[in-house]
Amino acid sequence: MSTTTVSQARGGFSFAQYVTCLNGIVWREALRFLHQRERFVSALVRPLVWLFIFAVGFRQVLGVSIIPPYETYILYEVYIAPGLMAMIQLFNGMQSSLSMVYDREMGNMRTLLVSPLPRWYLLFCKLVAGTAVSLLQVYTFLLIAWFWDIAPPPIGYLTVLPALILSGLMLGALGMLISSGIKQLENFAGVMNFVIFPMFFASSALYPLWRVQEGSPLLYYVCLFNPFTHAVELIRFALYGQINWISLAVIGGCTIVFMVGAIYAYDPSRGLARRGPAGGET
């Protein structure tokens, strides 16, 4: 028996084997994304509609005062840009979890989950693949926004990358956790709307929290405890080379909680995605 076989029998895998698994899952997700061009277009249509149409109408109604990280008055389009970036990642996280529900119905998920590699690592690879796709979408949006005179400092395109990775991981883990409890593909659209729109509108993506507090103190606290708010604020500060430490802590904690919940839920012996009587996943 070879050394590799012995190590696998004992439950150990080499670093190269882990990298091979990651490359395979990421490459599969990338190919799926390339073959679904309408997914790329639809991911950009929503934020661009807000940027080019709604922002123009709301510019005169929702003036934005000088608030961190901004050092001067800004246009409404500039304010909502980080929220629209996070919106892209939120929809992408839900789309990635939709693909997991589809794979589970078609039987592809069973092939992945019976791999000898640890289940937590397989789910983490799926999460990384979805986050990588969302980064491509966000930077394409930033490129289009640049032609609309929405341009952060040049260094902001680099400093925002870690924030985008962290927020993408959190929102992807949330989608993965939600997908674990959905048994049929037809039910996912309703769940997506139930999650996406409350998270997006009850956040600081479209209006500052101080304005929300003036109108409704209760809604202000809802927005304050909304993880999506902290994803938006982390991206907003990172675009200007700053760190919002509170948002960073919230996103880090939520990512761990959502990921642990997804790993538990996809454990067929305990979780929500249990195996059926024939040994296949339900």
Mean pLDDT of 245-253: 96
State the residue for tokens 């260094």: 155
- Higher per-residue pLDDT: 102 or 168: 168
Q: What angle do CA 143, 82, 90 make, to 5 degrees?
A: 95
Rounded to an integer, what distance in angstroms lies between the CA atom of residue 219 and that of residue 212?
Answer: 7
For residue 152, is pLDDT > 60?
yes
**HSE of 51, CA atoms in CB hemisphere, 13 A:** 24
Backbone angles phi, psi at 12, to 5 degrees: -105, 145
Q: Mean pLDDT over all residues of the chain?
A: 80
pLDDT value, residue 249? 96
pLDDT digits (tens, 9 = 90+) for 219-243: 999 999 999 999 999 999 999 999 9
pLDDT digits (tens, 9 = 90+) for 57-106: 776 655 566 778 888 878 888 889 999 999 999 988 888 777 777 666 66
State the residue for tokens 């870690």: 162
Mean pLDDT of 196-210: 89
For residue 15, is pLDDT > 60?
yes
For residue 121, is pLDDT > 60?
yes
Token pair for residue 67?
A: 């608030």
3-state secondary structure of 64: strand
- Higher per-residue pLDDT: 35 or 263: 263
- Higher per-residue pLDDT: 61 or 117: 117
pTM above 0.95, yes or no: no
- Higher per-residue pLDDT: 115 or 220: 220
Least Cα distance to 231 among 212, 204, 208, 209 occurs for: 204
Q: Grade residue 111 by pLDDT with cuts at 50, 70 and 90.
A: low
- Higher per-residue pLDDT: 10 or 155: 155
For residue 24, is pLDDT > 70?
yes
Token pair for residue 246?
A: 């509170």
pLDDT value, residue 55? 77
Least Cα distance to 176 among 272, 97, 118, 281 occurs for: 97
